[in-house]
Amino acid sequence: MDIRYSANQRDVKRYTTEELRDEFLITGLYKANEVVAVYSHVDRMVTLGCMPTTEKVSIDKGIDCWKNFGTHYFLERREIGIFNIGGEGTITADGQTFKMGYKDCLYITKGTKEVYFESTDAEKPAKFYMVSAPAHTSYTTTFIPIEKAAKRPCGEAETSNKRTINQFIHPDVLKTCQLSMGMTVLEPGSVWNTMPSHTHERRMEIYMYFEVPGDNVVFHMMGEPTETRHIIMKNEEAVISPSWSIHSGAGTSNYTFIWAMGGENMEFDDMDTMKPNEMK
């Protein structure tokens, strides 16, 4: 497991491009029959990827739960949200099996001992993208297909940010301890994922960009509002955004991204926005 320690905004001002990428960028999430995990000390969030091909893969594969978390199994004191961004597959959680189509989501509650991933077709494997947060109590493991997500159209074509926010793991959809996750889909001709930019001091956030076509990229914006930086991101890469950092980005094409948030506050609209002309 790759472990990332917290970085403060004063030091980040002096980071080189390489240091910035090493600290916040997450790459190589999908390796055949493996679980890739990055543990961030920013709100103790864990970002994971699993691409089962010829095997039934356990979530514990490659993770030493006792060494990394001091627990007997991964979800002993954690909850997790999982999206499938690949071919059809299944997830089995403590004996319950869930068929996962493209862009479907599964929330698995604290205390679930066994989680397994499989692909329906090894030639078209599922790609399970996951974010896990610490949890203090158990709720209900819940499957949320893309059709059942709460949809919030927003933005305008004139400002290049017409998009639909799909809320999956969200207070308006189901109860969780602190984890919120959703998927934002930008329409053709739109490239800005969040504008005006915002921070939320009470929550951190992780973005995972996908459906980035061909050789296109996304310029993910971060840093304090008057000390902005950017990380150039490719398809199916994720990025950690601490609470003090802006959350925003623009691509060279339209794309889709999955957002995940953790922290005390679960009010989706509780954010501090800033005008573009006030940023530096």
Q: Which residue has the tokens 């609470």?
A: 243
Annotated ligand binding at 136? The verdict is no
200 is in an annotated binding site: yes
> Of 257, 267, 271, which is closest to residue 165 (Cα–Cα)?
257
Residues tagged in the binding site annotation: 198, 200, 205, 247
Residues tagged in the binding site annotation for Zn(2+): 198, 200, 205, 247
